Structure 1
Amino acid sequence: MSLIVEHLRILGPDGVLVHPASFALRPGEPLVLLGETGSGKSLLAQAIMGVLPPGLRAEGRIVLDGQDILKLAARERRALWGRDVAMLPQEPWAALDPSMRAAAQVEEVDRLVHRQTPSVAASRTAARLSRLGLGGAARRFPFQLSGGMSQRVALAATQAAGARMLIADEPTKGLDAALRDTAGALLRAEAEAGRMLLVITHDVTLARLLGGQAIVMLAGQVVESGALPTLLDAPRHDYTQKLVAAEPERWAAWPRRQPGRTVAAGQGLRKQLGGRELFDGLDLEVAESDVVAIAGPSGCGKTTLGDVLLGMTLPDSGIVRRAEWAGPLGLQKLYQDPLAAFAPHQTLGAGIAELCRRHGLAPSATHALLPRLRLDAGLLHRRPTEVSGGELQRFSLLRTLLLRPALLFADEATSRLDPLTQAEVMQLLLETVQEYGTALLVVTHDAALANKVAGQVVTLPPRNPRIRLDKTASVFRV
């Protein structure tokens, strides 16, 4: 089996979105599409699957086992899904059924695609979830899972399909280093088992783990290609060099400012979830111009702690105080899964315009922020599912910044962004702290990012004993 892509380009109402690209995919050797959000990586994968957003079309040839599948009818393309071609989409929200428990979503692949008995499907599912560190999440619904946990459930379901070709779109976003390595090893094993593997990512470390061949994309064009890890060890193109050099551990540390008034504080906080204690006896305070990071592996309770501080979740015990002067819109959250924060059938521009009308904001404020977030004004005419995950996350940030919150809770705000865009978005958050005295609460699984940006770092372990914080230290640990 082989896949040969020849002169594939993607066009939309405004012209060419992805310029002609050619590559081959063969069993046993991963192919990695590497580049920033919005560079066209996901559009190439969607063209191969036959799921391009409305209004876009593909031209060229996509030859699967000698057959140009670009010429097939939609019904014939869908017949390839599951057994021949499987895709792990970029957003877990788009991959999981909100009404089904995690294990059931993986089990049904074995039952419906491979016609296995319920007992065999359950046994295989338990093994897959265990390998991905999800043994305790089998009976949870998607809304009870963290973003990283949802991503791993979707990965398990896609892996269960056993298709001859697997397309994984940003498979490790939202995962900590250990789980990223585990997911990378599982994907590499899929290739070594003789399957074709196409991985779309902005994660340079994942690309190194996978090996094989790589194609680097920028603004809809292929700018460099070659074997891994050679391409990353000695990049030729200026963009590839910048991409490799933009990892958080290379950033300069953010300047510290004297904190102002307290915006939100918790004392003696305790929270359990699913019978597991996330934290206990935890004190936390966030003040104006303060940057506090909550770090730790996926599923350890980082988001839950932030939600408790904002009042979106009640603690099991403890006291939370929020400043009355901040007002009803003063505490804002930037969600980990941006797709969950937008009306699916409303264009981005219409949603932002409605926000401006409701709160008496000048439309010019939107257009002032677009270039700072590297967003094209033409994207305002698209719906949330018609832009990349990274672009949608930047629109989430734009919408939040329009309200100039007293406290911004950024929940894995840059986990979907390539290193260059991640650095730029974090720089914009720093400017927000400096210009408006905003209190910034950052949730991240990236220890290097936490230590570079925050004056205080609260590190949660995966299974917490009682947490005691040394309030004289800048880094709090168990």
Structure 2
Amino acid sequence: MNIQVMNDLLVTDLSIHTADGPIVSDVSLSLGKGHPLTLLGESGSGKSLVAQAIMGNLPPGLHATGRILFKGSDLLAETPSERRSRWGRSIGLLPQEPWLALDPTMRVLPQVAEIHRYVKGRDAAGSAAAAKENLLEVSLSSAEALYPFQISGGMGQRAAIAMAHAAGSELLIADEPTKGLDALLREQVTARLRKEVENGRLLLTITHDVAVARALGGTIGIMLNGRLVESGPAETVLKAPQHLYTKALLSSEPSQWERQVPAASGEMVIAGRGLKKSYGSKTLFSGLDIEIASGEIVSIAGPSGCGKTTIGNILLGLNPPDAGLVERRASLSSLRFQKLYQDPPAAFAPHQTIRKGVRDLVRLHGETWARVEDLLARLRLPESLLDRRPGEISGGELQRFALLRALLLNPAFLFADEATSRLDPVSQKEVITFLQEIAAEAGLAILLVTHDRDIAETISTRVIDLGSSDEKAM
């Protein structure tokens, strides 16, 4: 594969190894000012590992070979302390998981202000003023005094974007910068990234979102199974793809899906009557009615922070409503009401292998390992990943393990909060199809929160649109 040489960042024959062998092989790419580079590919294809190798923060047990030249210096030859001294200064990372990037004990504004104070060397007043401007740019002024646990996943993502912009590093690595964001905010963030390029920053973006890659332009690289299988100008790759996987990736965008709406196959499983919820002076919703029957998929759509997750949490009893009541089918135990979290790291013990957690669940609830193996196959999860910790696999793989774990409990109701936001179009379509199959086979009632209206309108019996306080029968 021919790679045009640019002097700012040049990666040559990069491979990333475990004790069992390489998981990323012979990746070569280059990046220069005014010409962004975007890596597209399915979850687990090695995109984020390439970014981590450049950043110098590969997970324990992995090591990189090859060359990574940045401004003439070979990053792989530098000591760990030399690599760390670049963080937030010459190389900045917008991480994939805002849950892990934000300090849970600090309010949002001080976290952004710290960048200006301790990286840029500004005084306290100047740092606070600059941080306010950063939050305003990502429509997050209303969250200045909130803690990370008080904001939505999409708002957390925007807070991390504000922090990355505040650092102003020469090279910005944006790892899934738009996951969990609605279409309007996605466009705003993409425009923000294009502006960074116009201002002379080097931009390497990792994404599964074809629309983001299309909007950023520049060069696109397609990754599959740890290899760069296709690369070239964005317009060429997206309009005339050569590799079979690239073609499959583009044809799997939700806007291309065939509409398949499930029919309710049984009685009501869960319902909310006259629900109301406010935070401070802001009312998220009032007089809301929602009912989900066996085999039915109901979706909630709307902008980030509008209360989509709150509705599901109220139905599960995790948050109390200010008014209204929740009804559940009386014959069902509480264990059969499950949640698939928007930020999967929040649902996993960080120092425990996936296998240990799954085995404990199987033993505790009298399940069989054969059931685990069946779900692994249907979710396209290699069994070898079970022996890794949550931080050692991709966000998309971790989300699929979260789904596996929820389904092991044979739920009657599943609250899927942005269940596919971390997945590439191919994997996304597979997981949604799987959920449709489970709904039909087992009579599972599903409440799906999504920012993607194409998905909502393609698979749902009804769509509750919080953006317009309207419920649309499909």
Q: Structure 2 length as normaliser, TM-score?
A: 0.97
Q: Corresponding residue for 2:69?
A: 63
Report how far residue 257 of structure 1 moved.
1.8
Q: What amino acid maps onto 2:304 in structure 1?
A: S
Instruction: Give yes or no for contact 1:10–1:58 (8 Å, CA) kept in 2.
Output: yes
What does residue range 29-428 of structure 1 map to in structure 2 within 5 Å? 29-428=35-434
Q: Corresponding residue for 1:460?
A: 466
Distance 1:468 1:337 in 2: 27
Distance 1:168 1:363 in 2: 38
Report how far residue 133 of structure 1 moved.
1.4
Distance 1:275 1:129 in 2: 21
Q: What amino acid maps onto 1:284 in structure 2?
A: I
**Number of residue-to-residue matches in the alignment:** 468
> Gaps spanning 5+ residues in structure 2: where?
1-6
Give the SS at the match of 1:171. coil
Give the SS at the match of 1:324. coil
Q: Corresponding residue for 2:445?
A: 439
Provide Cα deviations, 1:363-394, integer angstroms capped at 9, x if missing partner: 11111111111111000000000000000000
Distance 2:79 2:267 in 1: 62
Distance 1:256 1:225 in 2: 39
Report how far residue 262 of structure 1 moved.
1.3
Q: Corresponding residue for 2:473?
A: 474
- After superposing the two structures, state which structure 1 stretch, 170-179 or 324-333, moved more: 324-333
- 1:24 equivalent to 2:21? Answer no
Q: What amino acid maps onto 1:474 in structure 2?
A: A
Give the SS at the match of 1:29. coil
- 1:10 equivalent to 2:16? Answer yes
Instruction: Give yes or no for contact 1:29–1:192 (8 Å, CA) kept in 2.
Output: no
Provide Cα deviations, 1:60-83, integer angstroms capped at 9, x if missing partner: 011111111101111111011111
Distance 1:352 1:444 in 2: 27
| RMSD (Å) for aligned C-alpha atoms | 1.2
Provide Cα deviations, 1:2-25, integer angstroms capped at 9, x if missing partner: 111111100112211001011111
Provide Cα deviations, 1:274-324, integer angstroms capped at 9, x if missing partner: 431100011111111111101111111100011111111100111111222
Distance 1:155 1:233 in 2: 30
Distance 2:147 2:264 in 1: 42
Provide the identity percentage.
Answer: 52
Q: Give structure 1 regions of 4+ aligned residues with deviation exceeding 4 angstroms.
A: none
Instruction: Give yes or no for contact 1:282–1:468 (8 Å, CA) kept in 2.
Output: no
Report how far residue 58 of structure 1 moved.
0.2
Distance 1:229 1:135 in 2: 36
Distance 1:403 1:428 in 2: 16
Q: What amino acid maps onto 2:52 in structure 1?
A: Q
Give the SS at the match of 1:168. strand
Distance 1:298 1:203 in 2: 17
Instruction: Give yes or no for contact 1:281–1:468 (8 Å, CA) kept in 2.
Output: no
Q: Structure 1 length as normaliser, TM-score?
A: 0.96
Give the SS at the match of 1:175. coil
Instruction: Give yes or no for contact 1:292–1:456 (8 Å, CA) kept in 2.
Output: yes
Give the SS at the match of 2:35. coil
Report how far residue 259 of structure 1 moved.
4.0
Distance 2:332 2:294 in 1: 10
Q: Corresponding residue for 2:3?
A: none
Distance 1:38 1:468, change over 3 A: closer
